[in-house]
Structure 1
């Protein structure tokens, strides 16, 4: 049996400049379900970080950590179910499994980031998959955000069990997503595009008693 060696990788920019405007995964939901305004009585606020850049990175922890630090300025979290962020909080790396991490950056940076990482990693054994088009990110803030989460997931989100810097993959409203707590007052939900409308409507219903509002 002959051996074959892969000498190169084709990398494609999945968001080229075109005249067709990209739409948020929740564009249909905003039009058909509505977007409750944030008011003084709102104790939970939803904010979508649409079109964020998201990459799945797999490989050996040591070599990947060196490349990510060099390119992104953030080290890969070594402990399970944790995340690390840059000083701005806009770029993060999250542990998903012993050899798998999720990188999230502002939209438009993901293609360049992928190219820089591939260059830094050279001939190392790794995999990088751009999942930006298949996922979106929702932020939850407010004094009742934790209570809303308690109504939606079986995972223990009490501050004692879910401190700042933790992130887990869990069941949420009969679907699944990545739940993160990057700051004391903000939660993040990283979810599949196909579940976006369902989970948006779930959150509006579960948060109605808290006068939930959607921030532009």
Structure 2
């Protein structure tokens, strides 16, 4: 079996207002179905290794997690090497349920940005109120960064994790670098 390759081969840039790092391959499973179904919920918790998140939130612990994507969709995250086993387990547990389970790991790129100006960099690109009173804790958003569909959450006040389609990984990396250019500080959240 061949080794997985990240979209940008772990590209990094720490020359700007935030450090930008493309995360290596991360296991991601889309689970669609009735989120009120207890069988589906229990299977998702086992696969994601964390409790189910509230609407528009994300629960993570290390490489494991579950993100609320829509009223009938969850994104389950796990180590890349565990995806096939977790996928098989989900399909087995949900065999009698109306659900869709798909491995989307290789279709996505993941970026971590960190530093004191994380909120400012995101606010330049996404139509999300990044004030700490409005976006905090385990909140999760599906949105756009410029014209790129993406999702993000902030594991802490100084970092964010962004997920986008692999096909636009270079564009996303470049967007983040431009928004983080030294001298482009807005100082709105400082």
Task: Report the TM-score, using the length of structure 2 for normalisation.
Answer: 0.86
Query: Are the aligned partners of 1:56 and 1:130 in contact in 2 as well (CA < 8 Å)?
Result: yes
The counterpart of 2:55, out of the listed 68, 76, 80, is 80
The counterpart of 1:48, out of the listed 5, 16, 22, is 22
SS at the partner of 2:42?
Answer: helix
The counterpart of 2:46, out of the listed 57, 70, 94, is 70
2:6 maps to 1:24: yes
How far did 1:50 drift?
A: 2.0
Aligned twin of 2:187: none
2:34 maps to 1:60: yes
* Unaligned segments of structure 1, at least 5 residues: 1-16, 212-216
Cα 1:210–1:83 change in 2 (3 A) is farther
Mapped to 2, the partners of 1:131 and 1:195 lie a distance apart of: 15
SS at the partner of 1:112?
Answer: helix
Task: Report the TM-score, using the length of structure 1 for normalisation.
Answer: 0.77
SS at the partner of 1:148?
Answer: helix
**What is the aligned-residue RMSD (CA, Å)?**
2.1
How far did 1:100 drift?
A: 0.5
How far did 1:71 drift?
A: 4.2
Query: Are the aligned partners of 1:144 and 1:210 in contact in 2 as well (CA < 8 Å)?
Result: no
How far did 1:210 drift?
A: 6.5
Of the two structures, which has the highest relative contact order with CA contacts closer than 8 Å and spacing of 6 or more? 1
Query: Are the aligned partners of 1:84 and 1:165 in contact in 2 as well (CA < 8 Å)?
Result: yes
How far did 1:117 drift?
A: 1.4
